[in-house]
Amino acid sequence: MPFIKTIPDATGHTVNLFYEDLGMGNPVVFIHGWPLNHEMWEYQLSELPMQNMRCIAYDRRGFGKSDRPLKNYDYDTLADDLKSLLDQLELTNVTLVGFSMGGGEIARYIGKYGTERIEKVVLISAVTPYMLKTDDNPEGADKSAFDEMVQKISEDRPAFFTAFGKKFYGVDLFHQPVSQPMLDWNQSLCMMSSAVATMDCVRSFSETDFRKDVLKIKVPTLIIHGDADNIVPVTAGKRTSALLTHATYIEYEGTPHGLFITDKERLNADLIYFIGSKDANG
């Protein structure tokens, strides 16, 4: 199985990150959401490599087949991990595609390292620009909501993921946009993560302010968000779009957070068009 080693931390330790590399052409790097792993991109990784795109998807530290350290789940470290992947695979002219928490990796990577290797950016249901409610960010969510998530994970992680998965895909008593086997598959991906990673990453994606990082994204950018997203509200996509006046913003009507499944055909079409376009965002 292919792995890359991350940049050594202050103690000299490295982490092995698993990745999948499919197709040929300009590289498209997929960064998964919480609490899943790179396998969430199954429908994108089945289609986009057929469109002359080299698709690379990796498991964040603590998730999937990657190593599971007991610390260092902050976004500076996660951005360093992304840099390790881009550097070691010697990727250029890259399109970065980040879903939910993965959008934060893109923002922090560009905030720290710029866009020398990056050609385009796609933010899907992303946690940018800032999730937490503060005096200067009144549209954010109360810290108590994230505290409750961590508490429930610590008490019964499988039960939390079961309830979270239904909310993730917009399932309720009257609306079943995905099948029970799909929910079961989602649960299996969630349970491949470590308990430490799932809890620490809640703190990371809820408490990290990406507003300054987002302003450094100068390359063509596509922002996609569902207006029925009950995990990361559509206001996040709108606010990120307001900071990036050059970005293309697409809102999916009636669509929940997990649109990579519920709206996979439309998402694939939008990705193929944007990535293949020579004049995206002008």
Catalytic residue set: 100, 229, 257
Helix, coil or strand: residue 208: coil
- 23 Cβ contact list (under 8 Å, min separation 6): 48, 49, 50, 52, 53, 54, 55
Radius of gyration of the chain (CA): 17
Helix, coil or strand: residue 64: coil
- 141 Cβ contact list (under 8 Å, min separation 6): 131, 132, 133, 206
CA distance 134 to 48: 39
